[in-house]
Amino acid sequence: MPWRETSAVDERLRFIAEYLDGMVTMTELCAQYRISRETGYKWVARFEAAGAAGLHDRSRRPRTSPTATSREVVEALVAARRRHPRWGPKKLLAQGWPLATRPALSTASALLKQHGLIPPRRRRRRPGHPGRPTTALTTPNGVWTIDFKGQFRTGDGTWCYPLTVADACTRYLLATQALPSVRTAPTRATLERVFRRYGLPERIRSDNGVPFATSWALGHLSPLAVWWIRLGIVPERIEPGRPAQNGRHERMHRTLKAETARPPAVTVAAQQRRFHAFRHAYNHERPHEALGQRPPATLYVPSTRPFPTQLPALEYAPSHIVRRVGPSGSLTWHGRRLSVSHTLSGQDVGLLEVDDARWALYFGPVLLGHFDERRWCLHPIARVNGGRSLASPARAPHGKNLNNVSTMSSD
């Protein structure tokens, strides 16, 4: 039996028919149709006045609009736009407006859109990106956050770039280091000291700036991110222009700036002493509201994953075909060169066949793109959410399984 299709007008016709039949009272009929008696009498009156046509919904447009823009103004605006099709509302209303009444800028824009004289704006496609970070921040060392506090000059004119690292779950501040720049070498040296003291996290969340990401590289992988992956750490980046996705870290920066850099110290060494004092007070003395007014040191415990003495090699499942990326940033495939990325020079990547002559390219657990062997082109991963496009069978060092982790992506 097919489903019965109905509409509001059909229901009103049935209501009128039952009312005219006289078998039930208006009160009972309105209760059956779940409407008020006032509404029931309204539809009866409209039926008696106009028949079935009166049961259709009427326009709710007001009969008069005293504040509506006059026809003369609309016609003048449309004519001006057609004379100058590349002028926007500001220019059209700025000079040479022929009438004494001048509409508001928002009104002029709306009128031009109504007359089809302003084409709809194309929404900019956001660059390829893993999307909003969704990793739960429920265990110590599950996610570390890292960022550079805005640079400033100390009293002697030297630039100071504060690098901060924190545990996202407990808010424990792992490092506050005054660096001379945002280059990879000093950042890596600081992280090595932190890793030796506190062990390795599962993930590190950062923004898309240097040295955490490289915009032109496949997967936006920077040399620092490549090093993290070799250590078994999954890089996790926030969306561009969305600092609130790393809000805990940004809020800590606000306190750091207020207590250590207003005004800055005379020298970088003196500034670093301020950072050390702040970090101790922040971790061991300052109550944190999100932690039940407890300091972070009461909850944080170091990671059980030690920093290795030698950089371990990535292991791939037997279903992968492993290739070494050469100094030129390319790999050899059936005697031909396939350009990958200079940031992966000297690294092993894995290719997993997902379709006929189509391969998924992985660096460890990170899906970088798809290689079309017939067309001989590498397609970077577009925007993905949650890393569910493919699950990598790759295994990370220290016996940690990194299957189903968030993938990285490129433009």
Pair (149, 293) in one structural domain: yes
> What per-residue confidence (pLDDT) applies to 396?
40
Pair (223, 356) in one structural domain: no
The torsion angles phi and psi of 385, rounded to 5 degrees, stand at -125, 125
Predicted TM-score (pTM) of the model is: 0.63
Pair (147, 210) in one structural domain: yes
Q: List b or e across 92-107, with b for residues whose CB sees 16 or more CB atoms inside 10 angstroms.
A: bbeeeeeeeeebeeeb
Whether the predicted pLDDT of 67 surpasses 90: no
- Tokens 């396939």 label which residue? 338
> What per-residue confidence (pLDDT) applies to 118?
85
Contact 365, 352 (CB under 8 A): no
- The CATH number of the domain holding residue 249 is 3.30.420.10
> What per-residue confidence (pLDDT) applies to 279?
96
Q: Is residue 332 part of a domain?
A: yes
pLDDT band for position 302 (cuts 50, 70, 90)? very high
Pair (90, 25) in one structural domain: no
Report d(CA 228, CA 230) in Å as an integer: 5
Domain count, the chain: 4
> What per-residue confidence (pLDDT) applies to 123?
67
What average pLDDT does this structure show over 99-110? 89
Query: 317 Cβ partners below 8 Å, 6+ apart?
Result: 350, 393, 394, 395
Q: Is residue 385 part of a domain?
A: yes
Query: 399 Cβ partners below 8 Å, 6+ apart?
Result: none
pLDDT band for position 137 (cuts 50, 70, 90)? confident
Pair (360, 267) in one structural domain: no
Pair (78, 27) in one structural domain: no
- Angle in degrees, CA 30, 36, 37, rounded to 5: 70
Provide the 8-state DSSP code for 294. Answer: B
Pair (250, 171) in one structural domain: yes
Q: Is residue 25 part of a domain?
A: yes
Report d(CA 57, CA 61) in Å as an integer: 12
Contacts of 76-82 spanning 24+ positions with Cβ under 8 A: 77/103, 77/108, 77/111, 77/112, 78/111, 78/112, 78/115, 78/117, 81/112, 81/117, 82/117
Whether the predicted pLDDT of 390 surpasses 90: no
Q: Is residue 136 part of a domain?
A: no
Q: Is residue 125 part of a domain?
A: no
Pair (158, 272) in one structural domain: yes
Provide the 8-state DSSP code for 213. Answer: B
The length of the chain is 411
Report d(CA 181, CA 160) in Å as an integer: 7
The torsion angles phi and psi of 301, rounded to 5 degrees, stand at -135, 140
Q: Is residue 185 part of a domain?
A: yes
Q: Which of 298, 330, 364 is the last residue of a domain?
A: 298
pLDDT band for position 410 (cuts 50, 70, 90)? very low
Q: Is residue 392 part of a domain?
A: yes
Pair (220, 326) in one structural domain: no
Cα-to-chain-centroid distance, residue 395: 27
User: Whole domain around residue 93: which residue ranges?
Assistant: 71-114
Q: Is residue 127 part of a domain?
A: no
Whether the predicted pLDDT of 383 surpasses 80: no
What average pLDDT does this structure show over 45-65? 87
- Tokens 């940004």 label which residue? 250
Pair (280, 157) in one structural domain: yes
> What per-residue confidence (pLDDT) applies to 59?
87
Q: Sign of dihedral through CA atoms 197, 202, 206, 212?
A: positive
Contact 131, 385 (CB under 8 A): yes
Pair (221, 250) in one structural domain: yes
Question: Each residue of 312-340: pLDDT tens digit?
Answer: 888 899 999 999 999 999 999 989 999 99
Pair (77, 43) in one structural domain: no
Question: Each residue of 209-253: pLDDT tens digit?
Answer: 999 998 888 888 999 999 999 999 999 999 888 888 888 999 999
